[in-house]
Amino acid sequence: MIGRFIEDKNEVKTSKTYIILTLNGDMVYKRVHKNKDDSYTLQ
């Protein structure tokens, strides 16, 4: 697995896939969509 840590949420691009680390230490592979109110939806 190759990747980099994104510190600023503004670097997240809509409709791209990301490996996301959850609070309990799990890793998930999700497509991220940015909503108009600056919230994010995982698909």
> What pLDDT, on a 0 to 100 scale, did the predictor assign at position 38?
85
| Cα–Cα distance, 36 to 43 (Å, whole number) | 16
| Cα–Cα distance, 36 to 29 (Å, whole number) | 23
Contact present, 19 and 42 (Cβ < 8 Å):
no
- Judged against a pLDDT cut of 90, whether residue 2 lies above it is answered with no
The stretch 3-10 carries a mean pLDDT of 89
- Judged against a pLDDT cut of 80, whether residue 43 lies above it is answered with yes
Contact present, 1 and 17 (Cβ < 8 Å):
no
> Which pLDDT band, with edges at 50, 70 and 90, does 41 fall under?
very high
pTM score of the predicted model: 0.74
Q: Which residue has the tokens 């409709």?
A: 15
Helix, strand or coil, per DSSP, at residue 10: helix
> What pLDDT, on a 0 to 100 scale, did the predictor assign at position 20?
92
